[in-house]
Structures are given as C-alpha cells and as structure tokens.
C-alpha cells in the first residue's frame, strides 16, 4: 500500500486521505509504516467499502496484521447499530465461523519435557485428526448435532470431553446464546459428519510451545504463566458446517440486499439489516456455528490431554483461554459517552476486553482479557492482555495472528515442504503433517514478522504483550 | 456432456490468504470442468486418484459466474460429506439447468495430501469468453 494515500493520526493509527469532493471514509488503519507499506492496496479498498455499509458506528478498522480477504479484509473490525439500520454480513464474519485459538497451560517445563518431545509429537499426530481427508471418531445423530449447536463446549464437557473448569475460561462460558439449528441447512449438517474433533487444514495447527519470555510479570502471574513452562495452542474453527453456513448465507444475504435496495460495492459484502428476517436467520445459524467451533476446540483439548497422558503421566493441562477471531457478537460499547448495544464484526480479529470487564473470567479481570496472536510454525506466538484504550479506539479488538505476507502460490515456489521440515527440525522444532504442500504454504517466511505485529499492537494501544511463546512441536493440518 | 478433454487448461492466480483457481476450455462447460480440476488438484495429485466412486450434482443457475461457484461448492460439499476426493469431472447444461458428475475415491493413507479447499467464493469471480473458448476463475477458501 502506498503511504501517500494515508494520513498519520499517530505513528500507529492512520486514515485515508479523502478524495476531493467526497466525504472522508470512516476508516482507521492500525499499523506502523512498514506493516502498512507491505499491505496490499486491496486492504484499504475493502475496509473503505465496509465503511459505507448502513448503520456503521464510528469507524471501520483494520488491525496491524490485516490482509486482503473476502469482502471484509482479514483483520477487519466494524460495529453496527441495529436501531440505525445496521447490518450483519456473512463476509464480515468469514467462512470459518468462530475460528480461534484454545490455549492450554501445563505443569510441565521444557527442561523436563525435552527428552519426550519426539514421542509427544508422534502421539499428538496419532491422536488428533489433522489435514484434508482425516475424520474424527465422533459420529453424531442429527438430534445430537442439534444439541452441540445449542450447547457448544458445554455439550462436549457433559459428554466426557474435558473438565467443567475449562468452561470458565472459554468465551461465552462455552455456550453462545441465540443459536438456531433450524436455520442451518441439511447440507451444512451433513458436512459435519466425521468432522467433530478434527483440526482441519490450511493455517490450522496444534502447537506445543515454551514460554520463552515474560513481558508483563503481573499479567503473566494472573494467567498462570512462567518462563520455561510448556503451553499448548490449538488453532481451528467450525469446520465444514461453519463453512457451508457461510456459503449458504452469502447467496441468501446477497438476494436480501438486492431486495432492500442495498448497493454493495463487492458481492462478498452480502448483508442484511440485523433486524430483518434474513439477518436474524443468519445470526441464528452463525451462533450455531460458533457453538460447533467451541465444542470442536473442547474435544481437541481432551484429545490433547489424553495424548500428553500417554507420554507424560504427570502432565496436567488447564485451559488458559479460548478466544475466537471470526465472529459477529452483540456487545455493549460506550460511544460518545453513551452505552450502546452494537453488533461487532471481527474477521480475523480478536476480542480484547480491558481490565474490569464483566465478561473476563474473575482470575484475569484485573489485568484484562487474554489475547492470543498466533504466529507461524517457525517463529512464535504472543499472549497479550486487553486494554482500556482498545475499548475507546477499537471496540475492544486486537490482532489475531502474524498475517500472511506472501500468497500460498508464491510460498510453493519459494519452499519445498520436506526441506522446510528438516530445517525446522535442525532448529529444534518438530513438525508433523500429512501434507508437504501444506508445510511449504505455511512456511514461516510467508508470514509477517510476528514480533513486529505484536509490538505495534501494543504501541497502538490495542493490547499489551504478556508473554512470548516459542514453538517446539507443531501438528499441521 | 463435457469431460476432461485435452483442451482443458488449469492455472492459478495470487490471493493473500487463499488460492485463485482458473479453468479454461473450448466451451463454458469445459471451463467449469477445468476449474474443478484446478480446485481438487490443491487437495491431491489427481493422477493418483482412482475413479472408484461417482457423485452427481444438479442445480439451476442462469448466471454463469454464480454457476461456477455453485458447481465447485456442490462438488466440495458432496466430496466432504462422503469422505472422498474427486478427480474426474463432467458437466452439461440445458437452458439454466446444470447436471454434473464426478468420480474419485475415499481418502487412503498412501494418497499424498495437499491443502483442504473448503469452498468457492465470489472473490475475483469471473466467467467470460476468451479467444478460442471460455475462462472461469474465482478464489477458493483453504
């Protein structure tokens, strides 16, 4: 992106230079010069389109890890007021509804675990279905699938996949209200056959990590983190069901928008007023998919615990937090001094409530919500904490990952999967995958500098860094 | 019905996070068949996939661009629901009604895995006549 089309409001917050004769777009881009310069022009085009949707409150925002997506940019945030004709958009949520990260802390240290990492990598790869074509062992009847869509992670815990204590540390306490399984197509339900408890493919992963550096000792203490500790992060979403809902409702919402005379600059921005039959139908289906994602990560948590127990019987894995980054959620935010109920789209962006927010689990409330910026398999990830400033400037949102810097096609031309895995092994990172193509596509060099993304996220005021996690084992989808 | 003749060409184009697929053929139907090949080749080596099972799809769509997205999404959903990978495709059209079929086999452990394609999107969607035939393209979500 050429920086001359932007105006710096601060070194870490930018707005587009208005076109003469046109109103300035209600857009803010968070990032520093280098991150913004590396972004595709499409990011600005897409977020400008988002800013023109009905009922937008404040500005449409991009996070420091933003990149070009479908309709909305990935790393895009936009809040809409239903009482002002605000819309809900399937493109603003993304296809992998409620994709997110479950982070588990352990009672293990790298020193004690290092001799067992090879065995642990093999066990996790055996026990956690990962990659295209891999299915889970859970088979649900139609009525059971409806139960999962209504109850989310609570269903999983009630059926032996996890511990009650997990739920306190999952967004929405494990169950997203407002799910409507009847709004989900038969095809979407059929696609979920065999997909409960699977990691998926693409950028999804299960990583065993070590806490490499503590950057905020007080918050790290509240989160139960210390240097040398083994952590597990699981990145995946609502699998085939969520994607089919996105596909189904893209068409439904496109037709609704046309019927209502909404002129969409991009077909992927298909949307309907929140308070319309089509909007409410999508919302009910999307909430059902959120519950599928929460249940899926809960099941994967239990599979991970069992794999650890087979290798290291003393291992105890507790949920640190589970946070989604592809959602639209009804939240109360203060706008111009007034509390308003808004529908906040976060597509490739993490909710980041600041200290004191009632939605934050009590043990963390004083320091802020845990935020996880997942990096590539060769670099690392960050745990951060939400800030009060993020509420003022970004509807309590922050970055979700390193963000791609290079397309998958380009990555395939640069790296060979086998060679990449061998080179990571030489650096002490064990990769397990069924896909050499997938490994090459996910090469660390194809991602932005996660250190810079996390640093800029902090400097922009969106969240503050708590700990850096270095990968030791990565099961790739 | 258009199958997999030599006139079909597959290609890819750039997208930050996902993959752009291109299918070219002598007819509109062939271009869509080629786009299906390009899509499934992201997931597996199509030469190694045996035609052991067959799926059928049918849909009504007058807009050729929406037809491309429908065609790919019907195939992807059917393949995923049945746990199979597809490699050979045929497609015909009468007025706005499209009938397609595809052959493939269940995933097996010795089949090299690529990256899962979850669906076709409206992003960079284009179906148009080109010199000597048709070209169909869109971004697929992986």
Q: Which residues pair with B22 in a beta bridge?
A: B11, B137
Q: Where do we find the tokens 């037709």?
A: A255
Chain B hits for A249, Cβ within 8 Å: none
Contact between chains at B119 and A246 (C-beta distance less than 8 A)? yes
Contact between chains at A70 and B123 (C-beta distance less than 8 A)? yes
| Positions of A marked active-site | 400
- Tell me: pLDDT of B16 over 80: no
Instruction: Quote the mean pLDDT of chain B.
Output: 93
The Cα of B123 is separated from the nearest Cα of chain A by a number of Å equal to 6
Residue ranges of chain B whose CB lies within 8 Å of a chain A CB? 12-20, 42-44, 66, 73, 77, 80-81, 83, 85, 107, 111-116, 118-119, 121-123, 125, 139, 141-142
- Residues in chain A predicted with pLDDT less than 70, given as ranges, are none
Nearest-by-Cβ selection for A409 from B19, B43, B66 = B19
Nearest-by-Cβ selection for A409 from B14, B81, B114 = B14
A240 and chain B in contact, CB less than 8 A:
yes
A271 and chain B in contact, CB less than 8 A:
no
Q: Could you tell me the two tokens for A357?
A: 């927010």
pLDDT at residue A339, as a whole number: 95
Nearest-by-Cβ selection for B14 from A71, A407, A435 = A407
pLDDT at residue A265, as a whole number: 84
Q: Identify the three-state secondary structure at position A232.
A: strand
In a domain, A258, yes or no: yes
Interface of A with B in 294-353 (CB under 8 A): none
Contact between chains at A407 and B16 (C-beta distance less than 8 A)? yes
- Tell me: pLDDT of B4 over 70: no
Going by their DSSP bridges, the two strands A397-398 and B119-120 should be labelled as unpaired
In a domain, A172, yes or no: yes
Residue A108 belongs to what H/E stretch? strand A100-109
Q: Identify the three-state secondary structure at position B54.
A: strand
The Cα of B110 is separated from the nearest Cα of chain A by a number of Å equal to 10
The Cα of B132 is separated from the nearest Cα of chain A by a number of Å equal to 27
Q: Say how many domains are in chain A.
A: 1
Contact between chains at A435 and B81 (C-beta distance less than 8 A)? no
What is the dihedral sign for C-alpha A119, A170, A402, A228? negative
Contact between chains at A68 and B17 (C-beta distance less than 8 A)? yes
In a domain, A425, yes or no: no
In a domain, A427, yes or no: no
Nearest-by-Cβ selection for B17 from A191, A247, A404 = A404
Q: Which residue of B has its CA nearest to A43?
A: B16
In a domain, A372, yes or no: yes
**What's the domain range around A182?**
3-405+447-476
Q: Could you tell me the two tokens for B125?
A: 């969607």
How far, in Å, CA of A270 to CA of A71, rounded? 8
Contact between chains at B77 and A201 (C-beta distance less than 8 A)? no
Task: Report CA dihedral (A307, A371, A51, B142) to the nearest 10 degrees.
Answer: -20
Contact status, residue A283 vs residue A89, Cβ threshold 8 Å: no
Chain B hits for A257, Cβ within 8 Å: none
Long-range contacts of A389-394 (CB under 8 A, 24+ apart): A389/A354, A389/A461, A389/A462, A390/A352, A390/A354, A390/A461, A390/A462, A390/A463, A391/A333, A391/A334, A391/A353, A391/A354, A393/A13, A393/A28, A393/A460, A393/A461, A393/A462, A394/A30, A394/A61, A394/A63, A394/A77, A394/A352, A394/A462
Contact status, residue A44 vs residue A265, Cβ threshold 8 Å: no
In a domain, A26, yes or no: yes
Ordered domains of chain B (ranges, CATH): 9-141 (3.55.10.10)
Contact status, residue A150 vs residue A234, Cβ threshold 8 Å: no
- Tell me: pLDDT of B3 over 70: no
In a domain, A422, yes or no: no
How far, in Å, CA of A304 to CA of A152, rounded? 18
pLDDT at residue A348, as a whole number: 97
Alpha helices in chain B (DSSP H): 28-40, 64-82
Q: Which residue of A has its CA nearest to B79?
A: A191
Contact between chains at A95 and B113 (C-beta distance less than 8 A)? no
A45 and chain B in contact, CB less than 8 A:
no
The Cα of A409 is separated from the nearest Cα of chain B by a number of Å equal to 7
How far, in Å, CA of A49 to CA of A45, rounded? 6
The Cα of B125 is separated from the nearest Cα of chain A by a number of Å equal to 10
pLDDT at residue B6, as a whole number: 64
Chain A hits for B123, Cβ within 8 Å: 70-71, 268
Contact status, residue A96 vs residue A248, Cβ threshold 8 Å: no
In a domain, A291, yes or no: yes
Contact status, residue B78 vs residue B113, Cβ threshold 8 Å: no
How far, in Å, CA of A295 to CA of A282, rounded? 20
Contact between chains at B118 and A240 (C-beta distance less than 8 A)? yes
pLDDT at residue B5, as a whole number: 62
Burial of B114 (C-beta count, 10 Å sphere; 0-12/13-18/19+): buried
Q: Which residues pair with B60 in a beta bridge?
A: B97
A247 and chain B in contact, CB less than 8 A:
yes
Contact between chains at A247 and B113 (C-beta distance less than 8 A)? no
How big is the A-B interface in CB pairs under 8 Å?
Answer: 116
Q: How far is CA A467 from the centre of its chain?
A: 18
Contact between chains at A191 and B13 (C-beta distance less than 8 A)? no
pLDDT at residue B7, as a whole number: 72
- Tell me: pLDDT of B2 over 70: no
Contact status, residue A184 vs residue A149, Cβ threshold 8 Å: yes
Burial of A112 (C-beta count, 10 Å sphere; 0-12/13-18/19+): middle
A471 and chain B in contact, CB less than 8 A:
no
Give the end-to-end CA distance of chain A in Å, rounded to a whole number.
31
Contact between chains at B81 and A96 (C-beta distance less than 8 A)? no
Q: Where do we find the tokens 């895009």?
A: A76
**ipTM for this model:** 0.88
CATH number at residue A181: 3.90.1860.10
Q: Tell if the pTM clears 0.90, that is, is over it.
A: yes
Mutate to test the interface with A, among B10, B13, B76, B80 (most CBs of A within 10 A): B80
Chain B hits for A244, Cβ within 8 Å: 77, 119
Q: Give, in order, the Cα–Cα distances in Å from A174 to each of A208, A364, B12.
A: 23, 17, 40
Instruction: Quote the mean pLDDT of chain A.
Output: 95
Write out pLDDT tens, residues B64-103. 999 999 999 999 999 998 999 999 999 999 989 999 999 9
Q: Identify the three-state secondary structure at position A339.
A: strand
Going by their DSSP bridges, the two strands A229-236 and A205-214 should be labelled as antiparallel
């Amino acid at each position: 992106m050429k920086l001359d089309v932007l105006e710096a409001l601060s070194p870490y917050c930018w707005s587009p230079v208005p076109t003469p004769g046109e109103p300035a777009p209600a857009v803010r881009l968070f990032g520093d010069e280098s991150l913004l310069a590396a972004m595709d022009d499409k990011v600005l085009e897409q977020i400008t389109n988002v800013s023109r949707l009905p009922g937008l409150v404040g500005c449409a925002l991009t996070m420091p890890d933003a990149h070009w997506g479908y309709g909305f940019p990935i790393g895009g945030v936009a809040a809409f007021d239903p009482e002002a004709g605000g819309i809900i958009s399937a493109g603003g949520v993304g296809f992998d509804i409620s994709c997110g990260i479950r982070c588990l802390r352990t009672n293990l240290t790298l020193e004690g675990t290092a001799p067992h990492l090879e065995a642990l990598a093999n066990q996790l790869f055996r026990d956690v279905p990962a990659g295209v074509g891999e299915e889970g062992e859970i088979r649900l009847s139609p009525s059971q699938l409806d139960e999962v869509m209504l109850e989310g992670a609570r269903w999983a815990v009630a059926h032996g996949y996890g511990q009650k204590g997990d739920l306190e540390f999952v967004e929405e306490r494990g169950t997203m209200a407002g799910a409507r399984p009847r709004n989900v197509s038969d095809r979407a339900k059929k696609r979920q056959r065999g997909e409960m408890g699977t990691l998926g493919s693409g950028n999804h992963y299960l990583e065993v990590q070590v806490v490499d550096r503590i950057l905020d000792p007080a918050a790290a203490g509240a989160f139960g983190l210390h240097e040398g500790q083994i952590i597990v992060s699981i990145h995946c979403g609502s699998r085939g069901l969520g994607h089919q809902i996105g596909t189904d409702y893209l068409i439904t919402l496109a037709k609704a928008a046309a019927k209502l005379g909404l002129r969409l600059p991009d077909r992927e921005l298909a949307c309907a007023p929140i308070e319309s039959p089509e909007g409410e139908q999508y919302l009910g289906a999307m909430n059902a998919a959120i519950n599928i994602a929460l249940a899926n990560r809960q099941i994967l948590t239990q599979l991970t615990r069992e794999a650890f127990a087979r290798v290291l019987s003393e291992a105890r894995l507790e949920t640190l937090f589970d946070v989604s980054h592809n959602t639209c959620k009804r939240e109360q935010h203060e706008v111009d001094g007034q509390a308003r109920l808004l529908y906040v789209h976060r597509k490739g962006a993490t909710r980041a409530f600041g200290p004191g927010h009632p939605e934050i689990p009590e043990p963390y409330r004083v320091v802020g919500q845990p935020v996880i910026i997942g990096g590539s398999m060769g670099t690392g990830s960050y745990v951060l904490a939400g800030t009060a400033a993020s509420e003022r400037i970004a509807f309590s949102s922050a970055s979700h990952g390193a963000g791609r810097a290079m397309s998958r096609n380009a990555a395939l031309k640069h790296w060979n999967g086998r060679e990449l895995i061998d080179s990571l092994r030489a650096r002490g990172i064990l990769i397990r995958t069924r896909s050499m193509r997938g490994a090459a596509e996910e090469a660390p060099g194809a991602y932005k500098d996660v250190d810079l993304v996390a640093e800029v996220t902090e400097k922009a005021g969106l969240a503050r860094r708590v700990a850096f996690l270095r990968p030791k084992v990565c099961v790739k989808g | 019905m258009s199958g997999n003749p030599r006139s079909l060409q597959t290609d890819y184009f750039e997208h930050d996070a996902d993959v752009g697929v291109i299918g070219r053929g002598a007819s509109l139907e062939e271009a869509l068949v080629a786009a299906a090949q390009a899509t499934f080749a992201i997931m597996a080596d199509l030469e190694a996939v045996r035609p052991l099972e067959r799926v059928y799809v049918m849909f009504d769509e007058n807009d050729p661009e929406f037809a491309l997205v429908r065609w790919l999404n019907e195939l992807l959903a059917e393949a995923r629901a049945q746990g199979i990978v597809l490699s050979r495709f045929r497609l015909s059209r009468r007025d706005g009604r499209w009938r397609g079929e595809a052959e493939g086999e269940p995933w097996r452990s010795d089949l090299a895995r690529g990256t899962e394609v979850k669906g076709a999107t409206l992003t960079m969607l284009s179906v148009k006549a080109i010199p000597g035939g048709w070209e169909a393209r869109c971004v697929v979500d992986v």
